[in-house]
Amino acid sequence: MVRISELCSLFSDGNKNIHKFKIKGLPILLDAAGGSVHLIDDAVWDILESIEKNRTSPAIALEELEKKYPPKVIDEVMEELVSLWEQGLLFADESFVEEFLNAEENGELTVKALCLHIAHDCNMTCGYCFASQGSFGLEREIMSEEVGERTVDFLLENSGSRKNLEIDFFGGEPLINFKVVEHITAYGKKKAEEYGKTINFTLTTNCLLLDEEVCEFVNENGMQVILSLDGRKATNDRVRLLKNGGGSYDTVVERIMKFVESRNHENYYVRGTFTRKNLDFSRDVFHLFDLGLKHVSVEPVVAPPEEYGFYGEDIPLLEEEYENLAEGLVKRMLAGQDIDFYHFNIDLDDGQCLPRKIRGCGAGFEYFAVTPTGDIYPCHQFVGEKNFLMGNVFEGIKERYMMELFRSAHIFSKSRCRECWARFLCSGGCHASAYQFNGNLFEPFETACILQKKRIECGIYFQLYKKFGHKISEIMNSRDSLGEKD
């Protein structure tokens, strides 16, 4: 028979190795390092709770449990948990990570993806723009063909053995400099071919200039397109303003619908931002799906609370909203609608490689942003931060130590992440917000962590329904009826 002290000893590292949570009543147990996902019943929930709380004093845990459950139930649960541990489905081992980190230290650093600031200028005046209406606090400028070509060369020359490279046309609004977008695309394709590589292009646009000519161009070139729209008309038009002060919703929705039609509803995301002015953002996401869109991404604004950002008191509301969103999207999906919500996409079956899991987006060591004059920053959110200017496309990256620094900022070098159950699914959070809010790349921004963890929980909930459909509800219903018999 399993003794409670045995189970308590599995928690010797604290509570970071397994995580239990409920979304809309569905009790889920995640194994942090292995990625196994289980549905549990009330007894398992309570017993884990008690052990987590009293892991150093098993006798107290047992005493507490015996008040609630007969010994037979406690034994059954403990047997099951230990057996899962023995099979590697709970408390999975992660010691191999250290070996990997040691081996990697001298690994080659190569460039893979660039975010091109085609124009530090914009034809809209959105209130929350982190790019200060496109200028990033710098001069209003547009990228020349010469800088564009040099940027492509820089990417190819520094890409080592990588075959698939990426360029995102970003701004400000890149389409106000469309001629240069066309030029760089043609040049990039030709040059990549010479190198035997592929450059995948994406375009992020506010859609005002997304006319037929542009549609044709991006479709012909197979570009993924990110289309900005925040949701309901009132939400969108409060912030996303035209130069004349009017709202952009009507024009933008018309353009987006025409555009997604023209590419058979594939290879795009409609991307929105929510702020403290629309804490009920789930309705904005539902609205976007109700328009007939299939691929949607909506994320929290990056701004101080006195502007559009969030106060501490907003956070529980946002967490609840994510749950409402997950529930509503599951309902739509089970009713047959195609639902792809970017931030709930977690690949539960087939995990990514370890490098990806431990350090996320790659900013500052394989992913960079390039300004209209060719200056290189760790990512688009660092642009304009003079301390993070890494070099330029003409002379290359001078501050190599900064690449090392960004590469070293992974979940095992950040003390908070090391202890966090979400570490392998979050990958350590956004460097820019860590720096912006804590002045330190190694200290993640707490509000972002809370929301990230809620998104992960909701993502797992959504993915379980996506994979198992109505079976999940059947399991829960049969449990309810078993419970009644007890």
Partner 1 sequence: MASRVITLIKGTAVKTDRTVGCGECQTSCQSACKTSCTVGNQKCLNS
- List the interface residues with partner 1, window 255-294 (CB under 8 A): 269, 271, 273
Structure tokens at 57: 């004093």
Is there binding between residue 300 and partner 1 (CB under 8 A)? yes
Cα angle 137, 433, 437 (rounded to 5 degrees) comes to: 90
- Euclidean distance between CA atoms 358 and 414, whole angstroms: 11
Which among ligand SF4, partner 1, none contacts residue 130 (Cβ within 5 to 8 A by kind)?
A: partner 1
Structure tokens at 289: 């799906």
Cα angle 416, 459, 240 (rounded to 5 degrees) comes to: 90
Q: Give me the 440-469 binding string for ligand SF4, x by CB under 6 A, dash otherwise.
A: ----x----x--xx----------------
Which among partner 1, ligand SF4, none contacts residue 436 (Cβ within 5 to 8 A by kind)?
A: none
Structure tokens at 168: 């995102």
- Euclidean distance between CA atoms 325 and 343, whole angstroms: 11
- Using DSSP bridges, classify how beta strands 18-23 and 268-274 pair: parallel, antiparallel or unpaired: unpaired
Which among ligand SF4, partner 1, none contacts residue 468 (Cβ within 5 to 8 A by kind)?
A: partner 1
Q: How far is the CB of 89 from ligand SF4 (least distance, A)?
A: 22
- Binders of partner 1 among residues 337 to 356 (CB under 8 A) are 342-343, 345-356
Which among ligand SF4, partner 1, none contacts residue 199 (Cβ within 5 to 8 A by kind)?
A: none
Residues 6+ apart with CB under 8 A from 70: none
For residue 9, the one-letter residue type is: S
- Euclidean distance between CA atoms 330 and 93, whole angstroms: 32
The 8-class DSSP code of residue 439 comes to S
Q: How far is the CB of 245 from partner 1 (least distance, A)?
A: 25
Is there binding between residue 427 and partner 1 (CB under 8 A)? yes
Tell me the window of 219-227, 262-270, 278-286, 411-419 that interacts with ligand SF4 (CB under 6 A).
411-419
Tell me the window of 10-18, 137-145, 158-166, 279-287 that interacts with partner 1 (CB under 8 A).
158-166
Instruction: Count Cβ atoms within 10 A of the Cβ of residue 382 and give its class: 0-12 exposed, 13-18 middle, 19 or more buried.
Output: buried
Q: How far is the CB of 433 from partner 1 (least distance, A)?
A: 8
Q: Using CB under 8 A, which of 44, 143, 147, 152 touches partner 1?
A: 44
Residues 6+ apart with CB under 8 A from 248: 124, 206, 208, 236, 237, 240, 241, 242
Specify the 3-state DSSP secondary structure of 377: strand
Is there binding between residue 425 and partner 1 (CB under 8 A)? yes
- Binders of partner 1 among residues 172 to 201 (CB under 8 A) are 200
Q: How far is the CB of 462 from partner 1 (least distance, A)?
A: 11
The enclosing H or E element of 30 equals: strand 26-31
Is there binding between residue 451 and partner 1 (CB under 8 A)? yes
Tell me the window of 140-148, 310-318, 327-335, 471-479 that interacts with partner 1 (CB under 8 A).
471-479
Which among partner 1, ligand SF4, none contacts residue 342 (Cβ within 5 to 8 A by kind)?
A: partner 1
Which among ligand SF4, partner 1, none contacts residue 88 (Cβ within 5 to 8 A by kind)?
A: partner 1
Closest CA to 252 of 277, 226, 217, 275: 226
Number of residues that bind ligand SF4 (CB under 6 A): 14
Structure tokens at 425: 């699914």
Q: What phi, psi does 299 have (nearest 5°)?
A: -135, 160
- Binders of ligand SF4 among residues 193 to 232 (CB under 6 A) are none
Counting Cα atoms < 13 Å in the Cβ hemisphere of 360 gives 23
Tell me the window of 139-147, 246-254, 330-338, 459-467 that interacts with partner 1 (CB under 8 A).
459-467
Q: Using CB under 6 A, which of 428, 442, 458, 464 touches ligand SF4?
A: 428
- Euclidean distance between CA atoms 335 and 417, whole angstroms: 38
Chain residues binding ligand SF4 by CB under 6 A are: 411, 414, 416-417, 420, 422-423, 426, 428-429, 444, 449, 452-453
